[in-house]
Amino acid sequence: ENLEWNSRILKAQTDLLIQAKKDCYDYIRQIKEAAVTTGLARDSNSIPIVETQDTNLEEPT
């Protein structure tokens, strides 16, 4: 019973982290678009996004 509870808690926390990661990428996209629009960057590719394996929070299959 305790193991089931812990599993549910971990699943919920994983779901929250996945959504937070998606939100962050959306915020970064918006910031890049604003930089291009305001002339702070020439194009959106001039602002690199660093992604490491440590931040990979994809749902397990």
> Is residue 61 a part of any domain in this protein?
no
> Is residue 14 a part of any domain in this protein?
yes
Measured between its terminal Cα atoms, the distance across the chain in Å is 24
Domain with 39 in it:
2-50
Distance CA 39, CA 52 (A): 28
Distance CA 43, CA 46 (A): 6
> Is residue 56 a part of any domain in this protein?
no
> Is residue 55 a part of any domain in this protein?
no
Query: Model pTM?
Result: 0.62
In sequence order, what E strands does the chain have?
A: none
| DSSP type of residue 39 | T
Please count the structural domains in the chain: 1
At 2-52, the pLDDT tens digits run 999 999 999 999 999 999 999 999 999 999 999 999 988 876 666 666 555
Residue from 6, 5, 53, 55 nearest 28 by CA:
55
